[in-house]
Structure 1
């Protein structure tokens, strides 16, 4: 888009200079020279000076809009290109450039309207189809951005009437039809493009998706394989293998991903997916290598950060797990964010930062109340902070969600520490019944029994704890 805009400026500014010899011509030429040399602030000042003398100067507004656009001042650029549509609403470039800026601003409806107007005035001015193509493409994309896929398909068809067989517009039409729920209408269009470009990744991916949706995954794989046979460029082959891997499982998926990263080590999505696949297979070290490669290419993607946090957690490297989990939590939303917060909280617990662990895990349990492990870690963190009542409540919730001997043993300890001796005795009896080789559970059971006045039973519990090697129990038996 930027190249097109600059070329338009050169064409139209020359025409202006030939037709308007005046005192401001030198100032206009100086501003234009500054723009072409990349001295954007100087260009802005120069064009503004011309406009101050002659507000109706079309070329000055055009140049100022381009300079502001290149400086990233989209609001200022939009204002200037709007002035072009007011000064001469019959000229294509004003409407087109306004559409480009509105698109960059995320104002899809306004962009579609501006591109549509550009097409209308361009056709009236008998501009060639090639000159109008960017407006056709821009209008289709702006309509798609609004979810108006039927309208986008119509706009693409109108463009194809002027540019029959154009591959870009054909692909946009096919994609719009797919999004509009008409994939079978899109299929012949995609094959039309594929006939000219047999290794087109986007087209092959669309065709594969259509066949998968029709319950024909093997045919989808065969189409991808034909693309791989036709592709000469390693980067293209890597992207096709990445697509192929999404339709595979197990060893076949791993093989495709490994070949993709071999062909194009910079394809971070393949590296990331390889990390996920290796993690699923239990190859934690291999997963770490893949995630690190993806991170080197794209360090701000929250999925990669979460993958690294998960891998470091499985490797028992709590500090690294917490570091990457914190970065992932800042950049992610929804389920990914709470998964990152959980790993961050788990890391804090492991590193004995119990206050931080309670803060993080409380957020997780509030939003994901069915996460038993989060409740467990929250409870043992609260226990270490001597908040025994809260610890008992959290561990009770964990035990109700996923009963286990370990959770029962910790819950019993919390109940005992909170002074709930009868409840502690009941839960700890369950814990030793589930796992008779837990010396700490036997020890705590003895403490609860003693508090209930059942001394003989307490000594038998401590005896069992001592037999299992727990020194504090031996001390109590003396």
Structure 2
């Protein structure tokens, strides 16, 4: 049985620089020679026979044919395909390798062997076989795509970019090629190019959630949070398997937490915490079962209430309510999601966020702790530490935030919270270090500047405290924090005057 030839279509104008009418005047031999030279110049030499046919659409159909055909090799190749369909990759690789040994001029044997080795994780042999396929047929876009993907996986980005760019140039309708090239550009911080490739992947495969996730991550890195959230919502809508959906839910919920509470929210949360500590009644939970948070029965919600409800719809409704600052409704929906998907840490985390802003510190602490138990993410630990700090449990807050720092959470808000814990236990020297780190990470963190001034005052560094307060007050931002800073400045001046009088 004859070997099946490898064919690909090129836009004649792009490849040869000639329009269709001019090409139709070419004799077949001349057209074939021009095409072969153009392909070699662009992609390198090929070792088989190339035939060219001008299509009515204006495209050139280029067919690669191996230098020879071996019937025994073809039989082994077909047997390898059958083994691969049975998921017997070991046998498939053996058959394809044997076929390549019988007829080393046929690129498809090396291509399939390379794919097989890629699937079993033997990347060195995968690369060797794929390179051999490309050496035989330089425009073998399938081999270029898999090899580029392999190098992306190995983080050899320059090679990944080169092979994937060639793959999508030859086969521009391959959505996977654009997806993987977008991933390469994103890792290389070529964000605009990455966005372009992800958008093209979406045009070609609009139901694939992966390019939406890629766009969400890029826009998040660029600080374009609204665009990022839009694409995360598309992932949640499209992903049926659930793995990408959970990642999108976690990342979407983390966007606001990464920014941390605004200065106004921080003051409101502190007032809520003070009220909660002095209240004779326990802070209420979500209220879904008409119970307090503390007893814990049917917490966070009565499961019977949500039977038959789509969890993803609950999560989406919770997110919508959260964006509209309706934290009571958001907690309601997120609680239902947490009940139905109790093993999803992102559900507990988002519930904790809603309860925190709703003023239910006890419920928020329980939700964040549940998220941490399921997945010890630094962001979850950070938010749990924030709640324990607001509750006045400085020892637990410090331990929790310290663990988050061990896991790499050292952003401005985390350092600020950790510094407050240190100051609360009287360790002002270390508190000053942590708060200065918070300010270096975000010079507009007014709360950190205020707490630093307080720590300096407690450490009897009055001149430096006054300097830091003046810096805070000079920042052109309206905030209640500055009102508190002005009062503290008067206190520092009074202390300095008192020292001079002695």
Task: Write the distance in 1 (CA, Å) between the matches of 2:450 and 2:323.
Answer: 37
Aligned partner of 1:357 in structure 2 is: 431
1:393 Cα deviation (Å)?
A: 3.6
Task: Write the distance in 2 (CA, Å) between the matches of 1:393 and 1:170.
Answer: 52
RMSD of aligned residue pairs (Cα, Å): 5.2
Task: Write the distance in 2 (CA, Å) between the matches of 1:52 and 1:410.
Answer: 85
1:342 Cα deviation (Å)?
A: 0.8
Contact (CA 8 Å) 1:241, 1:260: kept in 2 or not? no
Task: Write the distance in 2 (CA, Å) between the matches of 1:99 and 1:339.
Answer: 39
1:313 Cα deviation (Å)?
A: 0.9
Deviations 1:66-121 (A, max 9, x none): 44664485x7744542332223446564234224324535657446435436748x
Q: Higher helix share goes to which structure? A: 1
The reply on whether 1:290 has 2:342 as its aligned counterpart is no
The reply on whether 1:168 has 2:207 as its aligned counterpart is yes
Aligned partner of 2:342 in structure 1 is: 265
Task: Write the distance in 1 (CA, Å) between the matches of 2:497 and 2:405.
Answer: 37
Task: Write the distance in 2 (CA, Å) between the matches of 1:170 and 1:352.
Answer: 50
What's the TM-score once normalised by structure 1's chain length? 0.51
Describe the SS at the equivalent of 1:361: helix
Which residue among 163, 169, 176 is the counterpart of 1:138?
176
Deviations 1:311-333 (A, max 9, x none): 11101122332333344456668
1:234 Cα deviation (Å)?
A: 4.0
Describe the SS at the equivalent of 1:168: coil
The reply on whether 1:325 has 2:372 as its aligned counterpart is no
The reply on whether 1:104 has 2:153 as its aligned counterpart is yes
Aligned partner of 2:412 in structure 1 is: 338
Deviations 1:421-463 (A, max 9, x none): xx524xxxxxxxxxxxxxxxxxxxxx654x2xxxxxxxxxxxx
Matched ranges for 1:422-461 at <5 A: 423-425=496-498, 449=501, 451=502
1:49 Cα deviation (Å)?
A: 12
Contact (CA 8 Å) 1:399, 1:408: kept in 2 or not? no
Task: Write the distance in 2 (CA, Å) between the matches of 1:233 and 1:79.
Answer: 51
Contact (CA 8 Å) 1:103, 1:111: kept in 2 or not? no
Describe the SS at the equivalent of 1:316: coil
CA separation of 1:38 and 1:388: change in aligned 2, threshold 3 A: farther
Deviations 1:221-266 (A, max 9, x none): xxxxxxxxxx977444444434544554322222222222222223
Deviations 1:155-185 (A, max 9, x none): 666x5xxxxxx76369979x99xx9xxxxxx
1:348 Cα deviation (Å)?
A: 1.6
The reply on whether 1:81 has 2:130 as its aligned counterpart is yes
Aligned partner of 2:251 in structure 1 is: none
Aligned partner of 1:458 in structure 2 is: none
Aligned partner of 1:409 in structure 2 is: 491
Aligned partner of 2:72 in structure 1 is: 19
Matched ranges for 1:25-424 at <5 A: 59=109, 63=113, 66-67=116-117, 70-71=120-121, 73=123, 77-78=126-127, 80-89=129-138, 93-104=142-153, 107=157, 109-110=161-162, 112-116=164-168, 119=171, 136-142=174-180, 145=183, 146=185, 147=192, 168=207, 234-250=310-326, 251-300=328-377, 302-329=378-405, 337-382=411-456, 387=461, 389-394=463-468, 397=471, 401=482, 402-403=484-485, 405=487, 408-410=490-492, 412-413=494-495, 423-424=496-497
Contact (CA 8 Å) 1:61, 1:81: kept in 2 or not? yes
1:283 Cα deviation (Å)?
A: 0.9
Task: Write the distance in 2 (CA, Å) between the matches of 1:369 and 1:408.
Answer: 23
CA separation of 1:355 and 1:150: change in aligned 2, threshold 3 A: closer
- Greater Rg over alpha carbons, structure: 1
1:368 Cα deviation (Å)?
A: 4.0
CA separation of 1:233 and 1:112: change in aligned 2, threshold 3 A: farther
Task: Write the distance in 2 (CA, Å) between the matches of 1:89 and 1:79.
Answer: 15
